[in-house]
Amino acid sequence: MTTLSSKLTFHIQHAQSLKEKRMVARSLIDKTRKKYNAAVSEVDTQEAHQVLTLGIAVVSGEHSHAQNMLDDIIRFMERNTEAELTSIEQGDGSSVLEQGDGSSV
């Protein structure tokens, strides 16, 4: 059994309040949970109204399946929100994308 996780940080340019941030977060979390059988939760920056940090965890019998699923979820999240994905940190602490990097999963 393999468990993989990532921490994604988004910048929500238009959010002027925590209420607006929560609307973006709730929409993205609900869409992701509906499409994928994965754990998704806000894990940091709860009080910063323009920064959203989400944790994702997937479990599979095969490492390659878990990695493909995690990559699909990250792409899905990036495409299904008006927020900009600024960083991706893998569960082992390594960084995949840093703000302004321009690369993607």
Instruction: Provide the domain count of the chain.
Output: 1
Query: Is the Cβ–Cβ distance between 66 and 3 less than 8 Å?
Result: yes
For 42-78, the pLDDT digits (tens) are 998 878 889 999 999 999 999 999 999 999 999 999 9
Tell me, rounded to whole angstroms, the distance of Cα 88 from its chain centroid. Answer: 8
Range(s) of the domain holding residue 62 = 2-96
Tell me, rounded to whole angstroms, the distance of Cα 13 from its chain centroid. Answer: 17
Q: What is the pLDDT of residue 104?
A: 45
Which CATH number is 32's domain given?
3.30.70.1120
Task: Tell me if 104 is assigned to some domain.
Answer: no
Task: Tell me if 103 is assigned to some domain.
Answer: no
Task: Tell me if 53 is assigned to some domain.
Answer: yes
Q: Is 8 left (phi over 0), alpha (psi -120 to 50) or beta?
A: beta
Please give the Cα distance from 103 to 101 (Å, whole number): 5
Q: Please choose, from the candidates 40, 16, 20, 39, the residue with its C-alpha nearest in 3D space to the C-alpha of residue 28.
A: 40
Q: Note if the pTM is more than 0.85.
A: no
